[in-house]
Structures are given as structure tokens and as C-alpha cells.
Amino acid sequence: MSFPYHGLPDWGLTGRKATVYGLDDLGEAVARLGSPVVWDRRGDVFWIETFQYGRRKASVLGEPTGFKNSLSSFLAEHGAYCMVVRPAAGIGSYVVLRWFHPLPPFGGWGHEVWWSGYDLGGKVSFSMIYSDGSTMWTAQAMYDVPEKKLYLLGPLGVLHEIASDVSLLMGLGVYHIIKVVADFDTGYYKRVILDRWEYDCEKYALCSEESPIENSLMHSIEIRRTVDSTCELTIDTLILTQNEL
């Protein structure tokens, strides 16, 4: 299941509706669409992907060659498929999934992912990169599985540790939920949700740099191997939200 930009219908309950603004009761709409973070409904659904119709818009990169990238129905929760990736052998190898959206509006954005890991010896990063033709802002939460720590990417590439001793059960079909919320108007994070924990991150600035890339929003998920393990990552559902408070 994958919805068009803004994720809203041309017709509401009482007549025509613009596709830029949210429904009156977006909380119920998000729940009906199958949002993993059902308790955090402060944004309007912009885009949702459950791999119901395959990979489609996702691009996959990895180094070195030999990484795994496949669709699987075995562990799918919401759509017909989920996405399974595994870096090639060797410390430092990685795989990244990326999606691009043109001309999105500024404001508060949320990146929400339902994911699981099997023998996941590495770092998993969840990013949004917003470009306006002169500046590129990056909002990224990174969970270090072996260290059990959660980080945010700040200016000049500095990592800020926002939580330690975050122990997550890893196994086939054991899904976890993460949501990263940032405001590209102010250049600051808002909050990060990881399973039952919510972290207030409003004091942390986004990473920013000059960039000629025209108006676009790119979001990505990366797994980077740091220890010798199977290191398999499964992605089931992704949701982008706008107008986040």
C-alpha cells in the first residue's frame, strides 16, 4: 500500500478537500492506515509504504558488493511483503534504502518505521534530508545495537547520545517502532520515539550544510555492520508525516 503525496482524498465527508491540508480527525485516519505509532498522531499523513506492491520507489545502495536486498512475505505485517536487507561480509559494510519526494513544504516532519533485526550486529540509522536549493538539513536517529545506545546527528556530523542502556529484543518478526520528528523551519529536532520511550529533543540542532540540490525530501534507512554477525534488517512499514507539532 503506497499513497500519493499528502495521502489525503480529493473528497471528504462533506465535499471536495484540498490535498495539502489534513482531515479534521487525522488521528483516526492514521490509525486506520495502520500507523505503527498509534499513540503519536500529531502530524498529517504525507506518504505511507507497506511494500504491498513491491519495492517501487525505493533505491538501494551498498558497499561492498554482495549485499542482500529482497522482498519477503514470510515476516510481512501490513502489506503483502516486507523488505529484507543484509550487508556484505566484513566490518564496515553497509546497505541503505532511500526514497525521494519532490517539492515538499517546510515545517515539522516525521519519519516513522516498523523494523526488526536478526542477529543485528551493527548500527541502524533513520534519516530525513531536506534540501531547498541552497541548504541541506539532515535529521538522523541512529541506534547502536551492540552498545544499546541511541544517538542524534548534529551540526558538523557530531553525534549526541540521547539514551543509553536501550535494550531491544532482536529476532525474526520481533518488530520495533521508531519515529524521528524534526522542524526544518527552525532547524531543530522535536522528538524521537523508540518503542515505549519518547525523548524530548528540541534542544538539538539539525546537521546542515550548503547544497545545490533543488527542493526535495529524501528519507533513508541504513544498516552498517560493526561486528561479525548475520546482521539482517527487515523493514515492514514506513510513514512520512507533515505539519508535526
Domain-embedded: residue 125 = yes
Q: Which three-class secondary structure state does DSSP give residue 26?
A: helix
* Residue whose cell numbers read 533505491: 59
Domain-embedded: residue 228 = yes
The more confident residue out of 2 and 199 is 199
The more confident residue out of 26 and 164 is 164
The pTM of the full predicted model, rounded to 2 decimals, is: 0.83
In this structure, of 3-17, 92-106, 200-214, the range with the lowest mean pLDDT score is 3-17
Domain-embedded: residue 103 = yes
* Residue whose cell numbers read 541512529: 142
Number of domains, the chain: 1
At residue 41, the pLDDT reads 64
At residue 26, the pLDDT reads 55
Domain-embedded: residue 14 = no
Radius of gyration over every alpha carbon of the chain, rounded to an integer in angstroms? 17
Question: pLDDT (tens digit, 9 = 90+) per residue, 168-187?
Answer: 988 888 899 999 999 999 99
Contact between residue 83 and residue 110 where contact means Cβ atoms under 8 Å apart: no
Task: Please check the confidence at residue 13 and state whether its pLDDT lies above 70.
Answer: no
Domain-embedded: residue 193 = yes
Domain-embedded: residue 31 = yes
Taking the C-alpha atoms of residue 243 and residue 130, their distance in angstroms, rounded to an integer, is 15
The more confident residue out of 150 and 11 is 150
The more confident residue out of 208 and 13 is 208
* Structural domain boundaries, residue 32: 26-242
Domain-embedded: residue 12 = no
At residue 160, the pLDDT reads 98
Taking the C-alpha atoms of residue 110 and residue 4, their distance in angstroms, rounded to an integer, is 17
CATH number of the CATH domain containing 85: 2.60.120.200
In this structure, the number of other CB atoms found within 10 A of the CB of residue 102 comes to 9
The set of cell numbers assigned to 52 is 504491498
* 3-state DSSP percent of the chain in helix, strand and coil, to 5: 5, 50, 45
Task: Please check the confidence at residue 115 and state whether its pLDDT lies above 90.
Answer: yes
Task: Please check the confidence at residue 98 and state whether its pLDDT lies above 80.
Answer: yes
Distinct helix (H) and strand (E) counts, the chain: 1, 16
